[in-house]
Homo-oligomer: A and B are copies of this chain.
Amino acid sequence: MTPKYDVLGIGNAIVDVLTNVDDNFLNSEKLIKGSMQLVSEQEAHAIYNKLGQCIECSGGSAGNTIAGLASMGINTAYIGKVHDDQLGNVFRHDINALGAKFKTAPATSGPATAHCLVLVTPDAERTMCTYLGACVNLTVNDIDEETVRASKITYLEGYLWDPETAKAAFRKAIKIAHNAGNKVSLTLSDPFCVDRHRSEFLNLVRNDVDILFANEDEIKMLYGTDDLNEAVMQAQKDCDVTAITCGAKGCIVTDKNEIGHVQGRTVKNLVDTTGAGDLFAAGFLYGISKGKSLGECGAIGNLVAGEVITHMGARPDIDLKKFVKENS
Contacts and interface: CB of A to CB of B under 8 A. Distances in A.
Count identical subunits in the complex. Answer: 2
A20, A52, A87 interface centre (most CB from chain B within 10 Å): A52
A67 B86 contact: no
Interface in A76-98: 85-87, 90, 93-94, 97-98
Contact of A48 (B93, B113, B315): B93
A112 interface: yes
Interface in A48-96: 48-49, 51-58, 67, 85-87, 90, 93-94
A58 B67 contact: no
B56 A98 contact: no
Interface in A115-145: none
A112 B86 CA distance: 9
A56 B56 contact: yes
A315 B53 contact: yes
A21 B4 CA distance: 29
Nearest to A86: B86
A122 to B, nearest CB: 11
A106 interface: no
B55 A57 contact: yes
A94 B58 contact: no
A313 interface: yes
Interface of A: 20, 48-49, 51-58, 67, 85-87, 90, 93-94, 97-98, 112-113, 312-313, 315, 317
Given A52-B97, A54-B97, 6 more contacts: A49-B93, A52-B98, A53-B67, A54-B93, A85-B86, A86-B113
